[in-house]
Amino acid sequence: MAKIDNLFSQEDQILIFRIFQEALTNIVKHAQAAHLSVIIRKQEGKVSFVVEDDGNGFDMKQVLACDVTERGLGLAAMEERARMLGGSFEIWSQEKAGTRITITVPVDDGGSR
């Protein structure tokens, strides 16, 4: 098991927390999921955070085609926070098959970004 407790500054930890907070809020509000998993993995100079549920999911093309104001600020805020961390934000969703959000954040060999 990889230890990540000291890999991020307090500011970065808050950004990561806010991403998780938004993801979990979306699951509670919209997904009607029976199961949720969180996977945190450190490898090759980066840490990946994956939040996945087995809920309602949604049509990615339809949501991404909407203007940000129409689809809500949640996804945009998560993506922006990932970018502020120097990382990437990926989302996969399919109707009736759930949603998976992956945030990947770089860390240097000394343990911080």
Sequence ranges of the domains in the chain? 10-106
The whole-number pLDDT of residue 63 equals 73
- Measure CA of the first residue to CA of the last residue in the chain; give whole Å: 20
* Nearest Cα to Cα of residue 52 among 13, 12, 90: 90
> Which CATH number does the domain 10-106 belong to among 1.10.730.10, 3.40.50.300, 3.30.565.10, 3.20.20.70?
3.30.565.10
| 73: pLDDT strictly greater than 80 | no
Sorting pLDDT into bands at 50, 70 and 90, what band is 92?
Answer: very high
Residue 11 is classified by DSSP as H
pTM of the model: 0.87
* Nearest Cα to Cα of residue 10 among 43, 48, 18, 108: 18
Pairing of strands 88-94, 98-106: antiparallel
Sorting pLDDT into bands at 50, 70 and 90, what band is 69?
Answer: low
Residue 107 is classified by DSSP as -
